Chains A and B, each alone.
Chain A
Amino acid sequence: AQSVTQLGSHVSVSEGALVLLRCNYSSSVPPYLFWYVQYPNQGLQLLLKYTSAATLVKGINGFEAEFKKSETSFHLTKPSAHMSDAAEYFCAVLSVSGGYQKVTFGTGTKLQVIP
């Protein structure tokens, strides 16, 4: 069974500081990995995804993530936090096996940006 672990349910950073949100996964088959963002009272929006091409993936709003197979990690980073980045972030893994797709989400990390 696959699983996703997001370390830290709440992360606070100062405006302009580095954002690092951690995600580790376990999957029995090669995974596809996603980061989604959820702003208050809204649905989920895709930030970026890894689909076995480049290991460093660039997404929207200046975010990027690096797939590290040896560490089974897919951490999300942004060099300089902006107030508008305050939201909840979810890491997700999608495995395809026997023609079926299985998606598992992490428990989410709420990012607070301090002025």
Chain B
Amino acid sequence: EAQVTQNPRYLITVTGKKLTVTCSQNMNHEYMSWYRQDPGLGLRQIYYSMNVEVTDKGDVPEGYKVSRKEKRNFPLILESPSPNQTSLYFCASSLERAGGETQYFGPGTRLLVL
């Protein structure tokens, strides 16, 4: 089954404790992206990647890191989480072709930073 998976689905942590949210897709997509969703703000793009070893900042990259060492995986790293990073996070992937390809979304990771 074609899908985007994220782990963990729910996470409670404390300020300053490094964490990683994993994202994996099995559709051989070049493009992958991370979003955070906050009430009243919609989805805001954190980082995206056009292909392996090619990443760029989205609209709200502060406090986050990403890496793309393999095509299928695109982990989101919070080196020192803070309460304002409490949010719902979505990973998405699509083909890279410049034809308005559909993004496929993971189920989301709900993060609470105390």
Contact = CB atoms under 8 A, between A and B. Distances in A.
Interface stretch (B11-19, B34-42, B71-79): B34-42
A39 B101 CA distance: 22
Contacts of A46: 102-103
In this complex, the interface size class of chain A, counting residues with CB under 8 Å from chain B, is: 20 to 34
A103 B33 contact: yes
B42 A103 contact: no
In this complex, the interface size class of chain B, counting residues with CB under 8 Å from chain A, is: 20 to 34
B22 to A, nearest CB: 15
Interface string B30-64: 01010100001111110010100000100100000
Where chain A touches its partner, the secondary structure class is strand
A92 B45 CA distance: 11
B50 to A, nearest CB: 6
B42 A106 contact: yes
6 contacts: A42-B108, A49-B102, A50-B100, A100-B56, A103-B45, A107-B41
Interface of B: 31, 33, 35, 40-45, 48, 50, 56, 59, 90, 92, 96, 98-100, 102-103, 105-108
